[in-house]
Amino acid sequence: ARLISRAGSLTNLSKYPASTVQILGAEKALFRALKVRGNTPKYGLIYHSSFIGRAGAKNKGRISRYLANKCSMASRIDCFSDFSSTKFGETLRSQVEERL
């Protein structure tokens, strides 16, 4: 819900690539890093997810990228599918849990 509100709508969120979804909410840090040519942030709103909290310190960036990819796919399925189903969301969630 936070990602949708930050993007403006589900349609806008579904148009974003996974790399943008990953840092959504960290725009200020991103532009500051680009300005001084520093390291860009690895996560924005996704950092508050329970999946990232359960990941090890070394794997947080990797899981963040994977979760952003799955969120992007789920938003596209929800936005552009003709029928409402939870089957795809449950499958994507189980894939993320397996990765942990």
pLDDT, one tens digit per residue, over 16-29 is 999 888 888 887 88
Spatial contact of 60 and 44, defined as CB atoms under 8 Å apart: no
Spatial contact of 40 and 34, defined as CB atoms under 8 Å apart: yes
Q: What is the DSSP letter of 45?
A: G
What span, in angstroms and rounded, lies between the C-alpha atoms of 43 and 12?
19
CA angle, residues 65, 16, 35, in degrees to nearest 5:
75
Q: What are 53-90's pLDDT values in tens digits?
A: 888 888 888 888 899 999 999 999 988 888 888 888 88
Name all domains of the chain by residue range, CATH numbers in brackets: 2-99 (1.10.246.90)
Overall pTM > 0.85: no
Task: Spell out the residues 6+ positions from residue 61 whose beta carbon is closer than 8 angstroms to its own.
Answer: 42, 43
In this predicted structure, the answer to whether residue 47 has a pLDDT above a threshold of 90 is: no
